[in-house]
Structure 1
């Protein structure tokens, strides 16, 4: 056991050195100017340039690293995937444009897709030649995914899709969308849903941007009006969409969250440095909040590691929901702390938002997107603690 652990540790260290050196050698020239661009709330930044960077990563084998080698991945262990995301974040490398394909749909197809679906879509995800978005939320079904009303009916050799999705990140840049739709007329809640792969570049799809408080428009409304997709582009069985969609959400809260937390640490360091420079750190209350934020970040990382280890071994006792609550509340609190440190001048935009103002405004959404706090608490209460289900109309 000891020799095995030593060998694994040595391999992990070699892996860390390899990605660290590659980033140092490649984040140069035109790519060096992209450092730090494209994070949450800033997806509009240098999209085309970040697309070129993501394809550069792919050519070197640094996308989809957790996938099996037969599908172009590196078959990286959980620990190595964590190392990659943390080293990537420490290098302040630009955010990639392939998150929905690389981290969500790709693993979903590997787990639930047919051989034909894997052969058709995985190469485009791996090489970043096809971009994806997620068609889950609707105006009447935000975090309550089981209430979706978008419908799909089989017509000859294809599905005809009608309905509206909302808060669809990067829909205006995507080639495809994985859509949860109701394929059984008259069904309700979790039953009768299917998980469809729908092309975005067709006459039956209309995309309207939603302008946010930050002035940007990463989110979109997507309207399907007799949009079509092939009959065999259902992931899993027809009517089994709820299970597939929940599988995707589990992947969404995977190893990339560790890299996200390195970004959180950088934001906290910036705020602490600002507090020292403008004297806010002399306020005992703010100093205490900075200390608590640092402790919370450590707790978050430890819990995220525990969560991923349990999910990898097939267990899921509600840890992903707890993890989402931890980071969402912490990051929202960091945005509030940033404004406290800035002081009264933070109330004015002159005319553009500062980094602190943008952090504050965008983190108001952290406790909503990806599953709202209220829904996460219901999941924990009902599925983990065994409490009675919430009364629904």
Structure 2
């Protein structure tokens, strides 16, 4: 029985170690494998629609006990803030925004690679090959029309609703197109990048579009709201934003062109994040099938997890055109310069 006391001592030491680890909040796991993060904190910069971003953080807190600071910023502002804070990062997570911003952040090493268990089930087109960002939802860039105004002002003339982005250049829509400022909003920049990649005369497109613009908006959702209220007849916006307002009773009609522009809402851990382990847990949470099912019911977007994709999602994604997000990130300065250089009078 010489082994009895060493074993007792060993069991005591292991128990003490496990208790210490549990107190640290990293080994106690919930049923879905997420750590117990009570007493821990996370800071998130989000360009997702506000109620979706807040729902994600509230669900994460419910699952893990982790408290959070949530700061909403339009895409370009979020990227700019993370870039400005590069030497002294204040945020742990970049969430949402047009995909080019996540690509740009990865290219400039503003985000760090994370090896996530289970992330390989997400299709390759929806995640970074360097594991620096992970898509949680996708949505197409739609044409959004105020149905009541159209039926009152244009339907009696027998005019067809626009079916392509080029149709928005029609002079009949002068002053009626809602479009957010692409210097701030990823929604509008996505269209400019798409046109640069697909149109033979992108500057002519920019000039014709600018001539038709109504009141400018700070972000893409605000532009869709202007159409929903009737302030503008029609506009450009992401389909999920339009569907959220349509579900609230606004008279919106949406058209998704064939071969359309589209984007991902992605998540990434900021390089040098103050709370790296909590950030990794949040990324893992975002990759879970259950999480995406819940969030995308709120967001009206298409999940990236195969288990959460609906038949309606598949039908929407069938409209997606070719989008080179890396090129969109690399050409951002040139594209915005071309846009800003055009006066509305041209």
- State TM-score, norm by structure 2: 0.28
Larger radius of gyration: 2
More helix by share: 1
